[in-house]
Amino acid sequence: MRKLLTLIAVFVFLGYSCLGEPEKSPKTTKPHLKISVLKSGKIMIDGNEATLTQAEQRLTRLKSEGGTVWYYREAGQQEPPPEAMQVIKLIADNRLPITLSGKPDFSDYIGEDGKSYPRE
């Protein structure tokens, strides 16, 4: 439960900085990384398995490009694996804007109201 509260606090800290009006999809013209953390703890970046070190390198590069993170976590209602917390920490450390996706194909984003909206 503590990990879940920490995760929520990180998202509040980041301020959903990439989210716009709930009715509108976040801008997709900026570079972005699609990061998934599976319930097993496996990290996926743009569909390819990645280590935490590789994730750190990609996020650092994304920061210099002014990009954003699209984030999905499998089994989002369950306790997150340690890797999920480490990835969120890397995103926060780089102060990258983030959108949450409720679908593994990133075809949606979760608005500030907690509802799912299609990406355009």
Torsion of CA 40, 50, 8, 106, to 10 degrees: -90
pLDDT score of 14:
45
35 within 8 A of 44, measured Cβ to Cβ: yes
Separation of alpha carbons 15 and 97, rounded Å: 8
**Where is pLDDT greater, at 113 or 1?**
113
Separation of alpha carbons 61 and 94, rounded Å: 10
Number of H helices, E strands in the chain: 3, 7
The confidence band for 120, taking pLDDT boundaries of 50, 70 and 90, is: confident
Task: Report whether pLDDT(5) > 50.
Answer: no
